[in-house]
Each structure stands twice: as structure tokens, then as C-alpha cells.
Amino acid sequence: MSSGGPVPVPRFGHGSRVPGWDEAVDLTKDPAVVPDPATTPVPPELRETIEAAMAKYPDRRSAAIPALHAAQQLHGYCSPEAITEVACVMRLTPAYLTSVATFYDMLETEPRPHHHDVYVCTNITCSLLGADELLDAVADASAGREDVHVRSFECLGACDIAPMASVDGEYIGPLTLEDAPRIVEDLEAGRPVLEHKQLRYRRSVDPGAAASEGER
């Protein structure tokens, strides 16, 4: 790479500079149809959850997100099996559900062996107050820990405690760099994560008082 000549443009395996459309599909196969219940086993609890969700709406398709969410809980991510099972219960094609799953940030379509989701907000307010460094620190602290999935996230709606993170849905902040390893330690120990910094203990009125209360 020292020759000073033009640096080759990175290319994908198929020779193009953009990712291909052929990655997720087997071009030799027929398109997947609505799965046949007779040959598609679905875990009974998952079926029950999805059926209950479908019953809540005038149109069963409205249950797509809750159903995919339930399947993701069970399988770890929206895997092809997860999608097939949901498709079977909802009587929809796997392609339709894949189109839904790929749209939403909280539905994962890549394997993810993690048990804990740590979303570090790096949007405007949080980044003004140091979120980018915080994200690095949390990523470093969890390096090598298979069960913790750290990712940056857009505004989580808690800019009052910026910089903040959501750990398995629990909002914590304002965070310092020293808090990063403690998040991982608390997760490992199965304790509530940084309990004194959890949003739920913050007052709505006179939030300044809450900060000092929280520091006790």
C-alpha cells in the first residue's frame, strides 16, 4: 500500500461497490409462500401470544410488530425460523414479515447471541454532553462479554438525563465515563443497573432537587 498509486475501491464478493440483492435469498428456490401449519411446528406459547395479539385488532396484520417482537424474544433475533413461525400463525408470507422486521431498529435481523441490550444515545443533547466518549467507554467495558450488546441509538426521549443509556429498557443517566464499567458489572451480577441513576426516581417538578437526592 506504499506505492502511492490509486487505492483500490473496496468491492463486494460479486464485484460491485454496493451490497447485492442476492445475499439473503437463494435464487434457485421458489419464493416462500405462507407456511403450511401441518409442516411448520410453532412453539405453543409463541402461537398463543401471537393469536392473542391478533385478536386485539380489527385487522390481524396489525399484530405484525408485537408478533415479531415475541418471536425475537424467543429466538434472540428475527431469524428465518422465527419469521416462518410468525408467518405460519399470522397467515402471511415470510417476505412480508421480513420487510417489516428490516424497517424497525428494535427488530434485529442479524444473529445476536446477547441477553442484554445497551442502547447508548448519541443524539444531539447527549452528544453535546459527551455521549460519543461514553459510547466508546461502554463498548470497551463490555469488550469480550458475549452477552452484552452495545449500540449507539438515536434520541431515546430522556435528554434531561443526558448523556444517558437504556439498559434492557431501563433508562439511566446522567452517566460519566466511570459509570461504563459499572453498567457491565451490574449486569454480570444480575443487579439493577446503576439504580441511583435510574430515571424512575427523578422528580418531574424541580428536577434539580432530584439530582442531589439521587446522589445520596
Partner 1 sequence: MPTILFDRIDEPGLNTLEVYERRGGYQALRRVLGMTPEEVTNEIMESGVRGRGGAGFQMGRKISFLPHGDMEKYLVCNADESEPGTFKDRELIQKNPHMLIEGVIIAAIAGGIAKTFIYVRGEYSKQADILEAALGEAYGAGYLGERILDSEHSISLVLHRGAGAYICGEETGLLDSLEGKRGNPRLKPPFPAIEGLYHGPTLINNVETLCTVPHIIRMGGAEYAKLGTETSTGTKLVSVSGDVQRPGNYEVELGIPSREIIYGLAGGPPDGREIKFWFPGGSSSPVLTKDDLDIPYDFDSLAKAGTMLGSGAIIVADERRSVLDTAIKVAKFYAHESCGKCVPCREGTNWTHKMLDRIRSGEATPMDLDIMASVQEQIIGNCLCVLGDAMAMPIGSMVAKFRDELEAEIDAARERANAAPLEDVVALGVADEQPDDMGGPRFSEAGSRAGA
In one letter, which amino acid is 132?
D
Burial 115-143 (b: 16+ CB within 10 A, else e): ebbbbbbbbebbbebbbeebbebbbebbe
Any idea what the Cα angle at residue 124 is, between residues 121 and 130, rounded to 5°? 65
Name which of 95 and 128 has its Cβ closer to ligand FES.
128
Q: Which is nearer to ligand FES, 35 or 163 (CB)?
A: 163
**List 59, 110, 178, 215, residue binding partner 1 (CB under 8 A):** 59
Distance CA 137, CA 176 (A): 10
Is residue 164 a contact partner of residue 158, using CB atoms and an 8 Å limit?
yes
**C-beta of residue 25 within 8 angstroms of C-beta of residue 94:** no
Task: Report how many residues bind partner 1 under the rule CB under 8 A.
Answer: 47
Within 8 A by CB and 6+ apart from 109, the residues are 77, 78, 98, 101, 102
167: partner contacted, choices partner 1, ligand FES, none (Cβ within 5-8 A by kind): none
98 near partner 1 (CB under 8 A): no
Q: Is 180 in the site for ligand FES (CB under 6 A)?
A: no
* Residue 107 lies near partner 1 (rule: CB under 8 A): yes
- Grid coordinates 421458489 are at which residue? 30
Quick check: 214 binds partner 1 (CB under 8 A)?
no
Binding-site member from 40, 93, 122, 176 for partner 1 (CB under 8 A): 122
Q: Which residues sit at the interface with partner 1, rule CB under 8 A?
A: 56-59, 61-66, 68-69, 99-100, 103-107, 119, 122-125, 127-129, 153-162, 166, 169-171, 200, 203-205, 207-208
Q: Which residues sit at the interface with ligand FES, rule CB under 6 A?
A: 121, 123-126, 155-156, 158-159, 162, 164
